A and B are shown apart, each in its own frame.
Chain A
Amino acid sequence: MTTPPFTGSIDFKLAIGAFDVRVLRQARLTYAYVPAWSYYDVRSGTERSGEFQLEVSLSILALPRSDRSRTSDIPTKRYWAPLGQLLTIGILSTRVHHQLRCRVDAEARDADRRHRLHVGWPAPDLPEQI
C-alpha cells in the first residue's frame, strides 16, 4: 500500500465519566488520509485523485499523578495510552465521528492548499472567501 498523502494528528479534550466521577484528559487522534477529491501529490509533483481511505488511532494522555490512590506499580510519568477501540461504531456518537472526519478533511484541504501554493499552482479559495 502506498503512503497516504495526508498524515497528522489532532489534539482535543475528552471527558470521561464513571460512578459520578468525571475526568478531563487530552486526547490525540493520529490519522493517515487519502481523500476522494483531487490533490497535489508532493512526492510525484502531480495532481492525483485517490480512493477514500482514513486510518485513525486514538491515544489519551494518562496522568498517574492526578490519581491520589495510586500504588507503586502505576507509572508516575505522563504517557500516551492507546484507546483506539473507543472509535468502534456505537461507542461515540455518529456526530462525533462526523466531526472527526470533517476535522481531518479540513486539515488535509489546508495542507493541499499550502502544497499547491508552494509550487506555484493555483489553489482553491479558503472557505471564508467563498
Chain B
Amino acid sequence: MALTLGVKIGEVVDIAEHWVAVLSIDTRDSATLISNEGRKIEVSARGMTEMVPEVWIGLGPDATRSRLRLVFEAPRNIPITRRHD
C-alpha cells in the first residue's frame, strides 16, 4: 500500500504504535521528521527511508515552505493515520 498525506510543519502522523512529526522542510525535495523516540529522520523526494521495519517514508515532489506530502509504503495491516488534536 502506498499512502500520501498532505501535512504541515508540526503535524503528527501515527504509524501503529509509533508516530512521526514534521520538524522542518529543508528544501523542495527534503524534510526532517522526528519520531516518538526522539530520532531525527531525513526524508527525500529522491528515495525512501525505512522508519521501522516494513514502513518506508518518502517525500512527494514540490514541497512548499509550510506544506509537504509524505509518502508511506507499508503493509496494509499497519495503520497510518493523521493525528487530529
Contacts and interface: CB of A to CB of B under 8 A. Distances in A.
Q: Taking chain B's interface residues, is the majority helix, strand, or loop, or is none over half, making it mixed?
A: strand
A89 B4 contact: no
Contact of B58 (A54, A57, A84, A89): A89
A125 interface: no
B18 interface: no
A87 B5 contact: no
Interface residues of A, number: 19
A53 B4 contact: yes
Interface string A25-42: 000000000001000000
Residues of B in contact with A, size category:
20 to 34
Nearest to B3: A55
B36 interface: no
A51 B73 CA distance: 19
A89 B45 contact: yes
B48 A53 contact: no
A50 B79 CA distance: 19
Contact of A52 (B6, B46, B61): B6
Given A94-B61, A98-B61, A87 B2 contact: yes
A55 B82 contact: no
B18 to A, nearest CB: 17
Contact of A88 (B6, B60, B73, B76): B73
A82 to B, nearest CB: 9
A56 interface: yes
Given A1-B81, A51-B82, A98-B61, A89 B71 contact: yes
Contacts of B4: 52-56
Contacts of B60: 97
24 contacts: A51-B5, A51-B6, A52-B6, A53-B5, A55-B2, A55-B3, A56-B1, A56-B2, A56-B4, A57-B1, A57-B2, A57-B76, A58-B2, A84-B1, A84-B73, A87-B73, A88-B56, A88-B58, A89-B45, A89-B46, A90-B47, A94-B45, A94-B61, A97-B60
